[in-house]
């Protein structure tokens, strides 16, 4: 699997080991912590076709979790990692005779910067992107699903807002901005969004692989997965902050103003050649000011997926982890 150093990948790798699978991970640099999980470590970059071929050799299932995420960055890097890396994983599977590939995608591939309430897998891919991340994830997902026509059993899962103990990116950024007084609600609406607790996301990935291996689910399909509890995005943010003992979100900023500020910040960063992500991006504004929740009936039907951990239980676990 790829992405073992990340939030989802690390939990998925350890879950595979725990159920008795022999696991090989492809990571960019060797990490002593990963080696203690009982996995085989292959060092290499998904942008390197030789490394991906080496990692795929002899495998029965490949989980491609790694990606470059975010609303800002050099388009070429997103292209090379998200698209080129996925092409390499597909080729590695084909050349090594790996029968199953499970790809971690995102609902952003279909989110067209408008409210989506109860949408399903019939939604078309978005034709306009505010950042390189959604654009390249859509290209990569299409490639994965198209590979099913050449005999590789593939599936793409679309989790949104993965959260829970062990998150080293989203929650720490939320807490840091909250404590610095730099976290404001975008727009007057507390739009509903999907979330998925980390354990639920891991289970969905395991079910996807097992269903493809057993032939009980169709190949070449994408599935939305979630906690199946749409919740206001700012309500959820405040509940996460409360679990971590951090201050709540500040008063609202009009969405139109936030979008204009984001556009100006992006323009300034581009003009000055600043690599770090702006404080606010147009992609983030769109994500946070539009409803984004989906019907997961297809995942329930084809994969036997149902969330085992409720948002309430997940928040209790998170609060306990934050006090350890």
Catalytic residues: 133
Please state, in angstroms and rounded to a whole number, the distance separating the CA atoms of residues 258 and 272: 21
Task: Tell me how crowded residue 173 is: count the other CB atoms within 10 A of its CB.
Answer: 13
The helix-helix angle for 198-214 and 7-18 (nearest 10°) equals 60
Place of tokens 């009980």: 216
């Amino acid at each position: 699997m790829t992405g073992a150093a990340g939030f989802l990948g690390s939990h998925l790798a350890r879950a595979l080991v725990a159920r008795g699978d022999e696991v090989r991970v492809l990571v960019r640099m060797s990490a002593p912590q990963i080696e203690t999980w009982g996995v085989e470590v292959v060092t290499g970059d998904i942008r390197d076709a030789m490394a991906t071929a080496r990692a795929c050799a002899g495998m029965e299932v490949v989980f491609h979790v790694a990606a470059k995420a975010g609303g800002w960055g050099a388009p070429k890097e997103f292209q090379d990692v998200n698209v080129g890396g996925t092409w390499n994983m597909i080729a590695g599977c084909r050349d090594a005779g790996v029968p199953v590939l499970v790809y971690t995608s995102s609902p952003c591939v279909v989110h067209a910067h408008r409210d989506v309430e109860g949408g399903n897998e019939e939604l078309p891919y978005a034709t306009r992107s505010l950042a390189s991340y959604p654009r390249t994830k859509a290209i990569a997902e299409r490639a994965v699903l198209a590979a099913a026509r050449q005999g590789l059993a593939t599936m793409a899962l679309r989790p949104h807002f993965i959260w829970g103990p062990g998150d080293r990116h989203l929650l720490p950024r939320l807490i840091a901005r909250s404590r610095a007084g730099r976290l404001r609600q975008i727009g007057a609406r507390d739009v509903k969004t999907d979330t998925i607790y980390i354990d639920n996301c891991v289970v969905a990935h395991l079910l996807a692989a097992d269903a493809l291996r057993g032939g009980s689910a169709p190949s070449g399909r994408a599935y939305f997965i979630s906690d199946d509890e749409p919740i206001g995005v700012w309500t959820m943010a405040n509940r996460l902050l409360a679990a971590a003992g951090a201050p709540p979100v500040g008063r609202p900023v009009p969405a139109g103003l936030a979008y204009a500020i984001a556009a100006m910040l992006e323009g300034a960063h581009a003009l000055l050649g600043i690599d770090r992500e702006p404080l606010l991006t147009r992609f983030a504004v769109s994500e946070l000011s539009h409803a984004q929740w989906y019907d997961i009936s297809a995942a329930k039907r084809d994969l036997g997926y149902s969330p085992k951990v409720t948002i309430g239980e997940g928040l209790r676990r998170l609060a306990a982890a934050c006090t350890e």
